[in-house]
């Protein structure tokens, strides 16, 4: 590179990166200093105290909307229901309504089909003739009749026909299916004191039922005394053991029934008679359910109270006794026993 002589005689060398613009060679920190000054100014502006106008919060409150007349509101409702300009019904066009109705129809149709498929699969997995899972069979309960509206209280005067007629009518209705002619027509005679097992038949095959004739109940059958002893102050009651599917009560020994005074003087109960016996015979078990045991007639034990003390409130408890029977449950008063009361007048 050749030297260039200036007016003063000095020589300068021209380099390739020489720029005649003096601003191009400004110090590199000058731009950063200017940015820092701008940030400080902005912070000072933010921390300046608010003007009096800014402290006037009233101007920030929303202005109250003008009250609309009833006619204007009715007009808005009318426009919402049908907008003639946009041809919208309740804010939607006909095409929009068609799409939303189509969507929800398809959605609920799918949900209904899915629910139906789940129920169909569930029904395929269970049998209508016996429980799918029967891990624990509770001991049977016990009920009595006659009872009015679920009340286990028998109160009447032997000389007042109206006071005991309702009880005699209920007894007649309860024993009608036990009529001898009906039993001979529908059911068969079975060997006593043995379970009547019919498991070898098909699952859906109808099971035969053993006869239980009304005449076996003797003085409590209503055939000899249509008043069931109420007119004499010697009422009869019927005791039943609850039916449990496939249950074999007593483990081979018949379950028997006993009755006694629960509250009151023991002598106030008097003599008791049981018909046909004080047991539930084994030939009526097991029970195969309504679908298979169509003509099944549950056995009953009739109890006649021959010596009830008049004008005395007597609470009686009858209970089942046998293997596997629970009759003293503190939480379930019908488990293996039943309690009821007598108030008999002359």
Q: Rounded to the nearest 5°, which phi and psi values hold at 227? A: -95, 0
What mean pLDDT, rounded, does the chain reach?
85
H or E stretch at 339: strand 337-345
**Confidence band, pLDDT 50/70/90 cuts, at residue 2:** very low
Distance from C-alpha of 290 to C-alpha of 217, rounded to nearest angstrom = 25
DSSP 273: E
pLDDT: which is higher, 50 or 22: 50
Judged against a pLDDT cut of 80, whether residue 198 lies above it is answered with: yes
Mean pLDDT of 239-265: 92
State the pLDDT at residue 10: 40
Q: What pLDDT is attached to residue 66?
A: 81
Residue with tokens 């007597």: 314
Separation CA 176–CA 183 (nearest Å): 10
- Strand 337-345 vs strand 153-157: parallel, antiparallel, or unpaired? parallel
User: What is the Cα Rg of the chain in Å?
Assistant: 49
Burial class (CB in 10 A: 0-12, 13-18, 19+), 219: middle
Rounded to whole angstroms, the Cα distance separating 284 from 255 reads 12
What pLDDT digit, counting tens, does each position of 286-341 carry?
999 999 999 999 999 999 999 999 999 999 999 999 998 999 888 888 899 999 99
- Helix%, strand%, coil% for the chain, nearest 5: 35, 20, 45
């Amino acid at each position: 590179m050749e030297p260039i002589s200036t007016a003063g005689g000095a020589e300068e060398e021209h380099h390739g990166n020489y720029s005649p613009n003096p601003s191009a060679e400004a110090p590199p920190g000058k731009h950063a200093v200017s940015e820092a000054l701008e940030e400080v100014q902005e912070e000072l502006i933010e921390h300046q105290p608010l003007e009096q106008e800014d402290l006037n919060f009233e101007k920030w409150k929303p202005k109250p909307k003008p009250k609309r007349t009833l006619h204007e509101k009715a007009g808005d409702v009318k426009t919402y229901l049908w907008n003639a300009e946009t041809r919208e019904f309740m804010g939607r066009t006909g095409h929009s309504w068609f799409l939303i109705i189509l969507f929800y129809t398809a959605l609920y149709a799918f949900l209904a089909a899915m629910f139906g498929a789940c129920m169909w699969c569930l029904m395929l997995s269970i049998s209508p003739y016996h429980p799918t899972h029967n891990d624990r069979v509770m001991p049977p309960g016990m009920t009595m009749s006659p009872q009015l509206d679920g009340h286990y209280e028998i109160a009447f005067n032997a000389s007042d026909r109206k006071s005991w007629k309702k009880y005699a009518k209920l007894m007649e209705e309860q024993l009608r299916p036990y009529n001898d002619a009906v039993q001979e027509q529908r059911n068969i005679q079975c060997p006593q004191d043995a379970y009547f097992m019919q498991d070898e038949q098909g699952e859906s095959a109808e099971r035969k039922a053993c006869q239980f004739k009304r005449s076996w109940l003797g003085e409590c059958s209503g055939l000899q005394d249509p008043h069931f002893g109420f007119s004499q102050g010697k009422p009869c009651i019927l005791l039943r053991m609850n039916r449990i599917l496939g249950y074999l009560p007593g483990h081979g020994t018949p379950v028997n029934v006993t009755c006694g005074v629960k509250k009151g003087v023991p002598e106030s109960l008097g003599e008791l008679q049981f018909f046909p016996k004080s047991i539930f015979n084994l030939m009526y078990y097991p029970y195969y359910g309504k679908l298979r045991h169509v003509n099944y007639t549950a056995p009953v034990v009739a109890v006649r109270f021959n010596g009830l003390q008049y004008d005395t409130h007597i609470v009686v408890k009858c209970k089942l006794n046998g293997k596997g029977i629970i009759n003293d449950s503190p939480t379930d008063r019908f488990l293996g026993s039943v309690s009821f009361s007598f108030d008999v007048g002359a």
